[in-house]
């Protein structure tokens, strides 16, 4: 069956391709994996036994390392995962041995307005339904391990409230004197459930728990997801889980998972999640899937483990970082690369004519509503104005010392004149540029992009971190805000100011990295500020500590750790064919 991206839905393309897809054992053989290094999870999905594989390949020469990021997107997204997979297919077409590394999709966007993170058109990963609907259960493991920690914390608070010290000693518990007003975590679930952001728990009698304010965050924002993303071994993950700070005592002492004696059980739940998942593109190229999305509220990177394996199993590893270069690439650059020791040879910046027109002052783009004709007809003046956003992202990548390659993710409604305008701007700003039609044509449509990336990887580059870990925490945040976001300065709330001063006085915390939380819809904190805004100040309203993951988390603006479900959610389209058992309507 001929696959036509312009006439078929993504799930229909995936369904047709899956009828001829290679068994996962054959994909593993392409990578040179041995039989005992593969943990089959059905015919078309597997986990890779990380410790066993790593011990065999750790001394192999690494291949080229390519990160995929983007300009500031519209709410529809600009095809970063699609480009990642299309580039993998394109590299395969020109005779390279590529490996893709992407993040596991969250149920939040899957059933909401954004849909799956499987790519699209002829640049997808398959099997689509298993990939989209939980894969091998890594996010479920994070959810359960996190909520077990909350069970341990709230039960401990109840027992300490109900029992005196003598009774606590009888049952082997030392009083932690947990301050209910300084609990640092909430419950998690992997849906967008705004009605659960703020709740009261423990209502009823003394046997029904400790009554307190609480709430839910989305699972992929849990510190456990960050720990999975940055861990380099089981030993490393176990130690990090034990360092998680979940609350403070009334005297201000940290309460960790180790203090609650729940860290071992949490690690046991996450044991299998440490092994990355293996699937394939529509064209049979290997794709590693590990860790999760949401670089606006989390680290938003696939795992260090996946990259360390993939760069030794192929000659090109194409890895994806979440959202645009101001948050996703910045965290890849200053956090993930510190943990892995890897340095990118090239960085692809995905841009679309649609998003650039929006940044030039185009009409509002809303999910579920038809695009204004400005986005489907030639509008060169609007496009040229919006290229200020593209130039800002090129400059962010160049500041790292990496070689930027702008990928114009071509839509069939674009015109040649529009593409040439973007190409001219990109080249003048110091980047290579390629038009890629991978969505429509698969690997054949990505050959120009693949060749540009190969050339960029051979260029000289001097990758350096934005800040030294000895630089004061406030100065690091200032540097990110002013040098990358374009802010004029940083405004700290009184609460955030107090917290950052205390953190700076703690030698362990002050030497950790910085993981910013802000909107992905603008270079600023305000999603309504499009293009490359100037003259604004970044407001920091809170600062969290992820001691297990190893970074502090400044929270900018009014962003929520639990997204909301929109009025036109994707779950309305999803169903199951009761005759075949196949899932339909995924997007």
Task: List active site positions.
Answer: 80, 82, 103, 114, 295, 323, 411, 439
CB 574 within 8 A of CB 564: no
CB 478 within 8 A of CB 490: yes
- The pairing of beta strand 245-249 with beta strand 489-492: unpaired
- Length reported for the chain: 587
Smallest CA-to-CA distance from 523 within 489, 485, 551, 472 is with: 485
For 379, residues 6+ apart whose C-beta sits below 8 A from its C-beta are 357, 362
Cα distance from N-terminal residue to C-terminal residue, the chain: 20
Smallest CA-to-CA distance from 435 within 451, 448, 453 is with: 448
CB 493 within 8 A of CB 539: yes
Cα gap 275→384, rounded to integer Å = 45
Torsion of the alpha carbons at 18, 20, 23 and 28, rounded to the nearest 10: -90
Interhelix angle 304-313/50-57, rounded to 10 degrees, is: 40
Burial 424-460 (b: 16+ CB within 10 A, else e): ebbeebebbbbbbbbbbbbbebbbbbbbbbbebbeee
β-partners of residue 48 are 38
* 446: phi then psi, degrees, rounded to nearest 5: -110, 10
Structure tokens at 420: 């040439």
Smallest CA-to-CA distance from 225 within 146, 107, 318, 306 is with: 146
Cα gap 290→27, rounded to integer Å = 17
Structure tokens at 350: 């995905």
Smallest CA-to-CA distance from 311 within 54, 65, 32, 34 is with: 65
Burial 190-209 (b: 16+ CB within 10 A, else e): bbbbeebeeeebbeeeeeeb
Structure tokens at 472: 């004061």
């Amino acid at each position: 069956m001929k696959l036509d991206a312009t006439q078929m839905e993504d799930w229909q393309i995936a369904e047709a391709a899956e009828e001829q897809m290679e068994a996962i054992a054959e994909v593993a053989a392409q990578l040179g994996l041995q039989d005992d290094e593969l943990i089959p999870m059905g015919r078309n999905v597997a986990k890779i036994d990380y410790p066993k594989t790593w011990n065999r390949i750790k001394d192999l020469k690494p291949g080229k390392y390519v990160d995929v990021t983007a300009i500031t997107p519209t709410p529809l997204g600009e095809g970063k995962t699609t480009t990642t997979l299309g580039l993998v297919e394109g590299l395969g077409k020109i005779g390279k041995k590529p490996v893709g590394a992407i993040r596991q999709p969250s149920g939040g966007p899957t059933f909401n307005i954004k849909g799956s993170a499987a790519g699209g058109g002829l640049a997808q990963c398959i099997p689509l339904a298993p990939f989209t609907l939980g894969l091998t259960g890594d996010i479920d493991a994070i959810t359960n391990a996190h909520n077990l920690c909350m069970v341990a914390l709230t039960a401990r608070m109840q027992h300490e409230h109900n029992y005196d010290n003598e009774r606590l000693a009888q049952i082997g518990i030392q009083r932690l004197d947990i301050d209910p007003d300084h609990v640092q975590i909430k419950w998690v679930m992997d849906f967008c459930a705004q009605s659960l952001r703020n709740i009261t728990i423990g209502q009823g009698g003394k046997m029904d728990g400790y009554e307190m304010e609480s709430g839910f965050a989305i699972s992929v924002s849990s510190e456990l997801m960050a720990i999975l993303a940055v861990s380099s071994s089981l030993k490393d993950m176990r130690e990090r889980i034990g360092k998680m700070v979940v609350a403070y005592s009334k005297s201000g002492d940290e309460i960790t998972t180790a203090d609650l004696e729940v860290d071992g059980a949490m690690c046991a739940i996450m044991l299998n999640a440490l092994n990355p998942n293996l699937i394939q593109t529509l064209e049979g190229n290997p794709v590693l899937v590990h860790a999760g999305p949401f670089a606006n509220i989390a680290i938003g990177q696939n795992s260090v483990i996946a990259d360390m394996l993939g760069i030794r199993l192929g000659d090109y590893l194409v890895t994806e970082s979440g959202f645009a270069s101001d948050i996703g690439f910045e965290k890849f650059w200053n956090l993930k690369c510190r943990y892995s020791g890897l340095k990118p040879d090239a960085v692809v910046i995905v841009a679309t004519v649609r998003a650039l027109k929006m940044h030039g002052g185009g009409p509002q783009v809303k999910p579920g509503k038809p695009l204004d004709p400005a986005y489907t007809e030639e509008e060169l003046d609007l496009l040229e104005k919006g290229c200020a956003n593209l130039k800002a992202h090129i400059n962010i990548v160049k500041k790292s010392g990496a070689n930027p390659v702008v990928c114009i993710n071509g839509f069939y409604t674009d015109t040649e004149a529009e593409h040439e305008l973007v190409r001219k701007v990109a080249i003048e700003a110091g980047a290579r540029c390629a038009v890629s039609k991978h969505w429509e044509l698969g690997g054949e449509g990505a050959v120009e992009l693949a060749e540009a990336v190969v050339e960029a990887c051979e260029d000289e580059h001097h990758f350096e971190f934005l800040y030294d870990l000895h630089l004061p925490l406030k100065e690091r945040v200032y540097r990110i805000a002013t040098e990358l976001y374009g802010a004029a300065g940083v405004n700290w709330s009184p609460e955030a100011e107090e917290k950052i001063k205390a953190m700076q006085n703690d030698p362990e915390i002050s030497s950790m990295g910085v993981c910013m939380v802000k909107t992905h819809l603008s270079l600023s904190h305000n999603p309504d500020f499009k293009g490359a805004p100037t003259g604004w100040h970044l407001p920091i309203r809170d600062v969290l500590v992820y001691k297990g993951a190893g970074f502090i988390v400044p929270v900018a603006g009014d962003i929520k750790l639990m997204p909301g479900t929109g009025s036109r959610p994707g779950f309305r389209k999803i169903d199951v064919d009761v005759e075949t058992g196949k899932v339909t309507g995924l997007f």
